Structure 1
Amino acid sequence: MDTELARTFLTVLAAGSFIGAAELLHVSQSTVSARIRALEEQLGCSLFVRNKAGTRLTAAGRQFHKHAAVLVRTVEQARQDAGTPSGFDGVLTVGGRFGLWEELLLAWLPLMRRAAPGILLRAEIGFEEELMRGLLEGRLDIAVMYTPQSRPGLAVERLLEERLVLVASEPEAPPAPARDYVLVDWGPEFLAQHNVFFPAFSGAGLMVNIGWLGLQHIRRHGGSGYFPLRLVADELRRGRLHRVPDAPEFRLPAYLVHPEEPADAALDAALGLMRGLAASGHAEEEEA
């Protein structure tokens, strides 16, 4: 079977529609439809039910999904293994949001290197859409993100809960978005909470999709913004930033996503270290 057909199937599943899959694959919708038809003809069954809401798997589609994931993952693993330098026993690829690499996954890397020195680690930064797609296609073994999607064959577990606090460069900042406020897009859950607590907010002069950009701007040019407490705890202790009193605090869960199938020893070790690191970091945050 052409793995491109299986990859297209997984992309439709990740996107939730043929149109969304076409955008992700940078092809026309008719090309996606043609590939799925070809796949269905080879298998002798229908894989998707299409309606106005998008697509959903048929019973046959649910059965094929696990085989498609294994097929694409096997090809990807073969490609990775073929490129693995001598001296390593395997490869583990981990992806995460930029903000979750800071002070979390970056601390996990050396722990994992010591725990499994024979494993080549590949680290990637991405947003939820590309991380989920990487997991479904088998390019990623583990991903850490804020807003995962439930997909067959993938386990989603809560890793930690971010405490998003309003910090400012000046100690007397108002407890609401001001003129120099930087709006960081921490995802739809955060924006929904933000709109509820600040209904009169008409928009910020600067909006960023990566927290690091907003934090660097505030450090250099002043202003205020919402950031995970674990990222700014040291800045607050040193007096470089100031917690805005009486400002609402938002909660944002972060999730660990990985294959449901039994993992090998390296994957098990990686997951265990991430869980332990998240738990210890949360305890330190509470003390701060």
Structure 2
Amino acid sequence: MDIGIARTFLEVVKTGSFVGAANNLHLTQTAVSARIRVLEEQLDRPVFIRNKAGAKLTQAGEQFLRFATTLVQVWARAQRAVALPPGRETVVTVGAELSLWSPLLRHWLLWMRRECAEIAVSTHIEASERLMEQVQDGTLDVAVLYAAPSRPGIIAELLFEEKLVLVRTTPTNARLEPEDHVQIDWGEEFAASYQAAFPDQPNAVVSISYGPLALDYILATGGSGYFRKGFIRPYLEEGRLAVVPGSPEFSYSAYMVHSTKADPGVMDRVRAGLHAAAAIAI
């Protein structure tokens, strides 16, 4: 079985169409169709029903789906095992959202170096949706992200629950205008909760998708915004920021996500390191 064919099959399943799969894989639609045709010839039965709405799995396709996922994951693990650095037992590939790297993943990397020197580590930064896709297709062993969606064959373990708090720059007697509030993208759930809590708040003049950049901005110009409590704790202690009294707090949970087929022993060590890092960072 050509792994490229299995990946193409999974991409058609994910996008629901040959066109979408071709775009994501940077192939022509003809090439995607040819790969699926080869697969169907090898299985001696169709795996998709094609129509104007896209592509839907046949019963045979449903059966092949779990095997295709396993094939791709096993191949990815085999590639990493063959490329092991000298003196290492295995390699673990971990991805995370950008906002989680500092300080959580930095502490985790230091913990792994100290406690699990026999494990090689490969790390990546991606958007949450892409991280989930990479865990599903076996490219990643573990993803650390907020608001993990439910996916078949994937386990999402609560890593920690953090709070988003409204803070402002000091001195607190300095007047701030509504346009001094910076809107930070903490996901759809936060946006809905924020809108419910502040229905009369005008649209933000400045919106920033990355928390650390938003923090640098308000520290330079003065202003307010919602931030992860653990991240801004040093600024609260230094007196550069202050929590706005009476403001609502919002839950913001982080998850460790991995395949049900992941090596339990490796996951135990990764999990222990992440919990140790969370105890320091949060």
Task: Tell me the TM-score normalized by structure 1.
Answer: 0.83
Instruction: Give the letter for the 1:210 counterpart.
Output: Y
1:8 aligns with 2:43: no
Change (3 A) 1:200 1:57: farther
SS at match of 1:231: helix
- Residue 131 of structure 1 aligns with an amino acid whose one-letter code is L
Shift of 1:92: 0.6
SS of the counterpart of 1:236? helix
Alignment partners' CA distance in 2, 1:158 and 1:98: 18
C-alpha separation between the residues in 2 aligned to 1:251 and 1:101? 19
State the shift of 1:61 in Å: 3.7
Could you tell which deviates more after superposition, 164-173 or 11-20?
Answer: 11-20
Query: In the alignment, is the contact (CA less than 8 A) between 1:189 and 1:252 conserved in 2?
Result: no
Q: Is the 8 A contact 2:80 2:91 kept in 1?
A: yes
Moved more, 82-91 or 46-55: 46-55
Q: Secondary structure in 1 aligned to 2:225?
A: strand
Superposition deviation, residue 222 in structure 1: 2.4
RMSD: 3.0
| Cα contact 2:145–2:255 (8 A) shared by 1 | yes
Alignment partner, residue 133 of structure 2: 133
Larger radius of gyration: 2
- Change beyond 3 A, Cα 1:223–1:34: farther
- CA distance in 2: counterparts of 1:227 and 1:273, whole angstroms: 24
Q: Which residue of 1 aligns with 2:211?
A: 211
Between the two proteins, the alignment pairs up a number of residues equal to 281
Aligned 8 A contact 1:11 1:21 in 2: yes
Superimposed CA distance per residue, residues 69-115 of structure 1 (whole angstroms, 9 cap, x where no aligned partner): 22222332333334333222221111111122222222111112222
Q: TM-score, normalised on structure 2?
A: 0.85
Paired residue type of 1:153: G
Report deviation, 1:34: 5.1
State the partner residue of 1:250: 250
Output the CA distance in 2 between the equivalents of 1:40 and 1:223. 60
State, as a whole percentage, how many aligned pairs show the same letter: 42
Provide structure 2 residue ranges, at least 5 long, that are not aligned to the other structure.
none
The amino acid of 1:107's aligned partner reads: H
Aligned counterparts of 2:86 and 2:19: Cα–Cα separation in 1:
42
Evaluate the alpha carbon distance shift between residue 172 and residue 84 of structure 1 in structure 2; reply closer, same or farther with a 3 A threshold.
farther
What's the counterpart of residue 189 of structure 2?
Answer: 189
Residue 223 (structure 1) shift: 1.9
Give the partner amino acid of 1:149.
P
Q: Deviations over 1:152-196 (max 9, x none)?
A: 221122222221111122324789x82122211111111121222
Partners of 2:156 and 2:216 in 1: CA distance: 32
Amino acid at match of 1:228: R
Residues 202 and 270 from structure 1, CA distance in 2 versus in 1: closer, same or farther, beyond 3 angstroms?
same
| Structure 1: gaps (5+ residues) | none
Change (3 A) 1:265 1:103: same
Taking the TM superposition and a 5 Å limit, the aligned residue runs for 1:253-272 are: 253-261=253-261, 263-272=263-272
Cα separation, partners in 2 of 1:31 and 1:82, compared to 1, 3 Å: same
2:117 alignment partner, SS class? coil
| Cα distance between partner residues in 2 of 1:6 and 1:23 | 16
> Are 1:158 and 2:165 an aligned pair?
no
Write the mapping of 1:37-116 to structure 2, written as runs, cut at 5 A: 37-47=37-47, 59-116=59-116
1:121 maps onto 2:121 in alignment: yes
Q: Residue by residue, what CA displacement relative to the aligned partner does 1:202-261 show, whole Å, maximum 9, x if unpaired?
A: 422222222122122222232221111111112111111111112221112222110112
Asked if the contact 2:180/2:224 (under 8 Å) is kept, the reply is yes
Paired residues of 1:169 and 1:218 also in contact (CA < 8 A): yes
> Structure 1: which 4+ aligned runs deviate by more than 6 Å?
49-56
More off after superposition, 126-135 vs 195-204: 195-204
State the Cα distance separating 1:141 from its structure 2 match. Answer: 0.4
Q: CA deviation at 1:274?
A: 1.8
Pick closer, same or farther for the CA change 1:148–1:237 going to 2, 3 Å.
same
On the 8 A contact 1:166/1:247 being kept in 2, the answer is yes
| Partner Cα distance (1:215, 1:43) in 2 | 55
Which whole-Å CA distance do the structure 1 matches of 2:83 and 2:116 have between them? 19
